[in-house]
Structure 1
Amino acid sequence: MQRLHTRSTVQKWTARSLNVRGHQLRVLVVDDTTTAADALAAYLSIEDVGCRVAYGGHEAINTAISWDPHVILMDISMPECNGFDASLAVRRNPRTAHIAIVAHTSLDEAEVRRHLSDAEFDGYYQKGQSLDRLLDLIKTFVH
C-alpha cells in the first residue's frame, strides 16, 4: 500500500490566542545562525512588529522572561540548549507559559512532531518558505 504524504510548511497546531490590543506585537526570533536571525528580525520590524533576537536556547529563555514577547520563533537545531529544551523551559515557567511558540526550523513537520515531549509548540514554519506566510501564521495567534 502506498502512503500518501503531504508536506506542510506552515501550520498552526493549537488554538492559543493572545490579546495584544493597544500594544505592538512583540516577537522573539531565536536562531544560532546570527545572520538568519538578524535578517528575519529586520523583515518583521519593517512589518511593524517589535523584535528581539536570541542566538541560542539559554538566551531565548532569559529574553522570554525579561521581555515577555507575544510570540517566539524557535529554531530547533542549536548547540547546548536546543529548541525543544528551550521551548519546554518557556512553557513550564508560569511567567512565560502564555507565549505562543512556533517551531521555526529546516526540519520537516513530521520530524518535529516525533521529538515532542509535551505541548512545546503552538505552530510550525519550515525555513525557506514565504515570509508573508510566516507573518500570517504569527497573526493567527493574536486578536
Structure 2
Amino acid sequence: MTSHAPVSHDGPLRVLVVDDNEPSALTLSWAMEMYGYDVRTCHDGKAAVKLADDFDPDIVLMDLGMPIMDGIEACRHLRANPAHRHTLVIAQTGWGDRELRQKTTEQGFDYHLVKPIDLDELLGLISKTAQ
C-alpha cells in the first residue's frame, strides 16, 4: 500500500491515540497505520502525557472522558510543556455540545471531533494542518 501520510522532518508523522475504550483506540490506531502514520496507543491521560514525552508525537487524538486523568487535563499538561506546544491535539469524544467545544478550545485542543470519527474529516484536518 502506498503511503499518503504527510511526513515530518524525519519520516512519517507520529500519531498518539488516547482512548480508554480499547477496541476504539485499536481501531483508530489501525486506521492511522493504514495511511502510513507511525502510531502509539494508550488508554488514559496520565499515560498519554508520559508517552508523549518519549514518543514526541506530531498529532494526539485524545478522548476526553477517561479514568486517572481526563483528556482536558492531559491536554493542559501537554500544552504546558514547550516540547508539545505545537503538537496538533484533536479531541475525539462522544460529546459535542457547544459548551464542551468551547472548553476544549480554551484548554488547548486544535479541533473537536465527535465519535464516531469521520476518517475523511480527520485525514483532511491532519493534511491541512501538517502542510
TM-score range, shorter chain: 0.7 to 0.9
Q: Taking structure 1 as reference, are residues 74 and 22 closer, same or farther at Cα in structure 2, changes over 3 Å only? A: same
Asked whether the 8 Å contact 1:88–1:118 carries over to 2, the reply is no
Q: Which has the higher contact order (CA 8 A, sep 6+)?
A: 1
* 1:138 and 2:118 matched: no
Within a 5 Å distance, the mapping from 1:30-49 to structure 2 comes to 30-49=18-37
Alignment equivalent of 2:94, drawn from 95, 106, 111: 106
TM-align CA RMSD: 2.0
More helix by share: 2
Within a 5 Å distance, the mapping from 1:80-119 to structure 2 comes to 80-116=68-104, 118-119=106-107
Over the matched positions of the two proteins, sequence identity in percent amounts to: 32
Extract unaligned runs of 5+ from structure 2.
Answer: 1-6
* 1:77 and 2:77 matched: no
CA distance in 1, matches of 2:29, 2:104: 26
Quote the residue 1:128 is aligned against. Answer: 116
CA distance in 2, matches of 1:114, 1:130: 21
Using the TM superposition, give the Cα deviation of residue 111 of structure 1 relative to its aligned residue in structure 2, in angstroms.
Answer: 3.5
TM-score when normalising by structure 1: 0.80
